Amino acid sequence: MAAARVGAMAPVHLIRLLTLAGILAVWEALGQTGLVFGEALPPASAVAVAVGRELISLTFYRHLGVTLGEVAGGFVFGALPGVAFGLAMGARRVLGAAADPYIAALATTPKIVFLPIVMLAVGIGPGSKVALGAVSAFFPVVIAAVAGMRAIPPVFVRVGRAFNLRTSQMVRMIYLPALAVPIVTGLRLGLGVCIIGVLLGELKLASAGLGFLARDYYDQYDFAALYAIVAIVFALAALANGAMSRLVRRAEAHR
């Protein structure tokens, strides 16, 4: 079974590799000629050299540590309340119906508009980036948890109540097992937008972090280094997304 799955995925991986190679080749050609965007589009080879330079720089890891800490804090402070509030909204239909319009409106609002309010509340230090990441992560998790709660067959809930299960027992024995896939999916989306929120905060106002580093390179017109930071952020986000995808598949396998 595993061998057959690997064999079926081989053409997909080949197409992905060829596509990536083609993009890099076109990028290198355009960068070398300077016909598109001039110096603003350095060759892919120059960006690769800049990536290597960043990876051996202690300064880079200091900024990376700041960003990872802010993303971790924002994700925890956004995801945990998101799960709790989503469970409450899904379990209490009246509460859910009352809160739905507000959640829908706030979920589609660009979270960068909250930055001035966040800065007034917690200052301009790392706390503002953590808060912006938390606000960004909160809404996808809430929406996923609510959708999962509403998809639970009512008979499960009636059986639990027939056995006089307490609220904590209902959550542990009925809700959470049925919500594993929706919640992990919501966490996956929440992590992605949390990263975006933190980086936006760092771009706007910060003295450390990958967002600050990217803005600093932009101010210095060091575009190869700027693209290097973007490439590293993309790679880290892809790794995080891959880890969350594996959790989703594992949750689906245990249903």
The Cα–Cα gap between 154 and 165 comes to 15
- Is residue 60 one of the residues assigned to a domain? yes
Q: What domain range is 149 assigned to? A: 45-253
pLDDT of residue 1: 45
Q: In 3D, which of 229, 240, 161, 140 has the Cα closest to residue 195? A: 240
The Cα–Cα gap between 171 and 190 comes to 22
Mark the ranges of the chain whose per-residue pLDDT is less than 50.
1-4, 6
- Is residue 203 one of the residues assigned to a domain? yes
- Is residue 95 one of the residues assigned to a domain? yes
Residue 33: half-sphere exposure toward Cβ, Cα within 13 Å:
7
| Structure token pair of residue 196 | 């975006």
| Structure token pair of residue 117 | 């309010």
Exposed/middle/buried for residue 182 (C-beta within 10 Å: 0-12, 13-18, 19+): buried
Per DSSP, the residues of 142-170 read HHHHHHHHHHS-HHHHHHHHHTT--HHHH
- Is residue 34 one of the residues assigned to a domain? no
In this predicted model, what pLDDT tens digit does every residue of 24-70 receive, in sequence order?
Answer: 888 888 888 877 776 778 888 888 999 999 999 899 999 999 999 99
Cβ-contact 51, 231 below 8 angstroms = yes
- Is residue 30 one of the residues assigned to a domain? no
- For the beta carbon of residue 203, count every other beta carbon within 10 angstroms: 17
- pTM summary value: 0.81
pLDDT of residue 76: 93
- Is residue 66 one of the residues assigned to a domain? yes
Cβ-contact 183, 144 below 8 angstroms = yes
- Is residue 118 one of the residues assigned to a domain? yes
The Cα–Cα gap between 195 and 217 comes to 20
- Is residue 199 one of the residues assigned to a domain? yes
- CATH code, domain with 65: 1.10.3720.10
| Structure token pair of residue 219 | 């101010």
> Structural domain tally of the chain?
1
